[in-house]
Amino acid sequence: MATTYTIAELAREFDITARAIRFYEDQGLLSPMREGQGGRNRVYTPRDRTRLKLTLRGKRLGLTLSEIKSIVDMYESPRDTVAQINRFLGVLSHQRETLEQQRADIEMSLAEIAGHEEECRRLLADAGDGESGQPQERDAA
């Protein structure tokens, strides 16, 4: 008999909640078998485990669930491996560009914050260390 997993086992193994696994199921990323009275118990196959692992890897890369589903589904059919790899490379390239732009935006924000901090420290130094610790008011010129 093939190895199967419960939702609790997968949640524990991947350190996620059962609710997250059910969400991925709702999104079509997983399709467990149902057992027990009324099909209440989800039974995950090694295929589901692999799809969950790939889904979580895609999330760490910052991919959307639709991008992840497209890539994971692509590997379900062994039709054209070259096309599949090229598609994956395209997704990775786009994600790299997005992350590099975000990094540039963060660097710019950090530089702006540093400039504001420097200006505030200069203003405090110019105002002196008043008893209250508050900057002294300046006359409007």
What contacts 8, CB < 8 A, 6 or more positions away?
18
Determine the Cα–Cα distance for residues 30 and 50; give it in Å rounded to an integer: 10
pLDDT in tens, 61-72: 888 998 888 888
Question: What is the model's pLDDT at position 106?
Answer: 96
pLDDT in tens, 95-114: 899 999 999 999 999 999 99
What's the burial of 20, exposed, middle or buried (CB within 10 Å: 0-12/13-18/19+)?
A: middle
pLDDT higher than threshold 50 for residue 131: no
pLDDT in tens, 2-42: 689 999 999 999 999 999 999 999 999 998 988 877 777 88
